[in-house]
Amino acid sequence: MQAISRRLGHQSLKPAASLSSFKSIYPLSDHHYGADHPRHASSLAAKGVGHLIRKGTGGRSSVSGIVATVFGATGFLGRYVVQQLAKMGSQVLVPFRGSEDSHRHLKLMGDLGQIVPMKYNPRDENSIKAVMAKANVVINLIGRDHETRNYSFEELNHGMTEQLAMISKEHGGIMRFIQVSCLGASASSPSRMLRAKAAGEEAVLREMPEATVMKPAVMIGTEDRILNRWAHFAKKYSFLPLIGDGSTKIQPVYVVDVAAAIIAALKDDGSSMGKVYELGGPEIFTVHELADLMHDVIREWPRYVKVPFPIAKALATPRAVLINKVPFPLPAPKIFNLDEINALTIDSVVSENALTFNDLGIVPHKLKGYPIEFLISYRKGGPQFGSTISERVSPDSFP
C-alpha cells in the first residue's frame, strides 16, 4: 500500500508534463481565450460607468461589470429593464417591499445568482443604503398614477427620489444614476403627480448633475394601465367613457423601447450624462383615435359616452377627498382618476427641441401590430373569432 501511495504521489507532482503533452496534441492559445479579446469585450463605456471588470461574450452568462439597483423593478417598466440588464450579464439588485411573490417572475430573467431580491423599507435610510451598498448603477423607476393612504404623490415621486439621489451621492461608487420621470412633468402642470415628478427631476439634477433623466410618454405593453383598462371596461359594460371629447393629444410609446433607451444610455460613452430625454412614440394619437385602435384589435363595435371634464372631476373627487379620512383603504381608481383627468386637460407630446430616441440610436416601434397584439385576449370566442373591420355593420342599419 505504501508503494502504491508513493507512486500516486509522484504522479500527482508531475501535472505539467501531462498538460504539456496535451497541449502538444491540442494546442491552445491564450490570445483567443483572454477577456481582452475583442469578441469578449463589453460595449459598456468606461467613461460612463467607471473601471469595470468584464468578461464573456456579452450574453446572459457573461459579466458586464454592471451591478444595478433597480428601484421599482417589480412594476410595469421594471420587468423589461431587468430583462435587458440580465441578458447582457449584469447583476441586478431588486429592492421590494411586498410579498415574496412580487419578484418571482424576475428571477428567471438572469443567470444563477444574478437577480438578487432584497427586502427594504423605503422610509428607512439604512435599508436603502443596504440595497445600494454593492451597486455601481442606480435606476429609479418608482412612481404611481394614484395616491394611497400610505403614500402621497409628493412623498413617492419627489421625497423618495430626492432621498435616493442624496444617498447615491454619499455612496461615492455610483457611476450612473438614471431617473425615470413622465412626459409632461412640469411645475405648472395641472396634475399633482406631474408636478411632483418635475420636483423629483430637479432634486436629482441638483444632487447629481451627471444623472440622466428619461421622460417617457404613456407606455403601452402587455401589463399596461391604459389599453387593458379600456378593453376590460368595454367588454364588461359594452361602452367606454371618453373624458372630455377625446381630443387630447398623446404620444404613446412601446414599453420595450423605453427599456432599450435606458440600456442605451448605460452603454454610451457618457454623452447622455446630465441630459433629459423625452421618449414618445413615432405617432401622435388623440385619446379617441387610440380608443378606436383598441376596439379594432378586440373586434368590438366602439360605443362611447363622452364625459365633460367638470362631470368627470365630480365623479372622481370623492375618492381623492376621502382617501385619508376613512378608516379603510379605498379601491384604486380605474377610469375616473382625478389626477389623470387633470392631466388630460392638456396635450402630452414630445417638445420640438427635446432629446429623443433618435439621440440614443433607437427607432421606436409603431403601435399598430406587435406592441398591441396582447389585446387579442379580449376577443370574444378566442383570438380567431369576433367581427373584423370589414365585417362591421352599423347598428343603425339593423331593422
Whether residue 373 is contained in a domain is answered as: yes
Q: Which residue has the cell 375616473?
A: 336
Whether residue 316 is contained in a domain is answered as: yes
82 DSSP 8-state letter: H
Residue range 335-393, pLDDT digits in tens: 999 999 999 999 999 999 999 999 999 999 999 989 999 999 998 877 776 555 444 44
SS3 of residue 332 by DSSP: coil
pLDDT at 39: 36
Whether residue 26 is contained in a domain is answered as: no
pLDDT at 93: 96
Whether residue 120 is contained in a domain is answered as: no
Whether residue 310 is contained in a domain is answered as: yes
SS3 of residue 173 by DSSP: coil
Whether residue 228 is contained in a domain is answered as: yes
Whether residue 367 is contained in a domain is answered as: yes
Q: How far is CA 192 from CA 114, 198, 281, in A?
A: 37, 10, 24
φ/ψ (deg, to 5) at 383: -60, -30
Whether residue 65 is contained in a domain is answered as: no
Asked whether the beta carbons of 68 and 139 are under 8 A apart, the reply is: yes
- The vertex-349 CA angle with 347 and 351, nearest 5°, equals 120
pLDDT at 53: 55
Output the tens digit of pLDDT for each of the chain's 399 residues: 455 444 444 444 444 444 344 334 334 334 333 334 443 333 334 445 544 556 666 788 888 889 999 999 999 999 999 999 999 999 999 999 988 888 999 999 999 999 999 999 999 999 999 999 999 999 999 998 888 888 999 999 999 999 999 999 999 899 999 999 999 999 999 999 999 999 999 999 999 999 999 999 999 999 999 999 999 999 999 999 999 989 999 999 999 999 999 999 999 988 999 999 999 999 999 999 999 999 999 989 999 999 999 999 999 999 988 988 888 888 888 899 999 999 999 999 999 999 999 999 999 999 998 999 999 999 887 777 655 544 444 555 444
Interaxial angle between packed helices 255-267 and 76-86, expressed in degrees from 0 to 180 and rounded to the nearest 10: 40
Beta partners for 70?
Answer: 139
What's the CATH number where 177 sits? 3.40.50.720
Domain count, the chain: 1
Q: Which domain holds residue 206?
A: 136-378
